[in-house]
Amino acid sequence: MGTVERRRWRGASALTLLCATALLAVSAMTGAAQAAPMPEPGAKSLEQVRKEIDELYRQAGTATDAYNLAESEAKAQSAKIVEIAKQVVAGQDRITALKNRAGAAARAQYRSGGMPAGAQLALSNNPSQFLDGADRIRQGEKATTDLLSEMNRTQSDLQQYAKDASAQWEKLEANRIKQETSKKQIEEKIKSAESLETKLQAEEKARLIQLEQEAQYKAQTAWLSTGVLKEINTSASESGKKAVQYATAQMGKPYEWGAEGPSSFDCSGLTSQAWRAAGKSIPRTSQEQLRLLPKVAIKDMRPGDLIIYFDDATHVGMYVGDGAMIHAPRPGRNITLAGAGSMPIKAVVRPDA
């Protein structure tokens, strides 16, 4: 067995041991729960409750992604409105300058007696003065035409700026409504999930954690049994190393929907901030990360790459090597290390491709 293979075997074994140890620890805590009376007929089993809670948090995750996207778009629209306002001010200043130029020309004509330049030229009996005056008239006419054209263009620009600003305000309001709707959905789903959990006894809560870990361990074991780690052997880029270092430094901090640090994060808040720390700006949400970042095959995955989970791409974690990833799981849980295959993988994307 070569050095790389030994290292990956040790890493995979360490992750497997970590999961197994966690399961054993929780099992020891829940010995009394194992001997608890059977649920009453018609009552939900703890596994059913776990699945219901998991689904509620998944729905909250979907709403969180929608909220984060609306917030990101609202920030962009606000910046656009500010830029349009600057353009309007510049356009108005330009109009004022053009009007001043036109006023100066009018005052010059008034000082000459109010007689048009063409009429003054016709009365001239000096051929040289006539020719020189004719040239000046042509130049003046062109300057006047240019002045009027520029004023018209600037007025047209101002009208377009007004239309653009109105459109951006409409989008901003639409996104505000989206945010409010998503926020309400998030809070409702989280409240429902927490309500289910608060009804559980202490032993049942411990058993619930065990069931979560068992489900993750089962999925991770199935993923590893495909031999996937034999193919994944790419080293991290320098930027990827920095992103992983940032993400690992956040372990133990709580999940909070809509949060981007420094004291708490949601799943895409963690990955986007980790890559920002590595010098790369990436989309804020897991769905946009999937849509806009280059995709790579699982066999080509390297530390720092982002793993997008579930069919609706509403969860994301960062691959750290040896079959593991770091993520912010859900409300009530802290940023932690988990198996890269502990949830259904939709795609892998690379921020620094």
Is 267 marked active-site? yes
Beta strand ranges found along the chain (DSSP E): 295-296, 306-309, 315-321, 324-327, 336-339, 345-349
Specify the amino acid at residue 321: G
Active-site pick, 19, 267, 325, 348: 267
Is 140 marked active-site? no
List % helix, strand, coil for the chain (3-state, nearest 5). 65, 10, 25
Assigned token pair, 300 = 């080509």
**Between vectors from CA 351 to CA 322 and to CA 321, what angle results, nearest 5°?**
5
Active-site pick, 58, 183, 315, 350: 315
> Cα–Cα distance between 82 and 165 in angstroms, integer?
9
Please write down the long-range contacts of 152-161, taking CB distance under 8 Å and 24 or more positions apart: 154/91, 154/94, 154/95, 154/98, 155/95, 157/87, 157/91, 158/88, 158/91, 158/92, 158/95, 161/84, 161/87, 161/88, 161/91
Is 327 marked active-site? yes
Q: Is 345 helix (H, G, I), strand (E, B) or coil?
A: strand
- How many Cβ atoms sit within 10 Å of the Cβ of residue 222? 11
- Contact in structure between 56 and 192 (CB atoms under 8 Å): yes
Active-site pick, 327, 330, 346, 350: 327
Residues labelled as active-site residues? 267, 315, 327
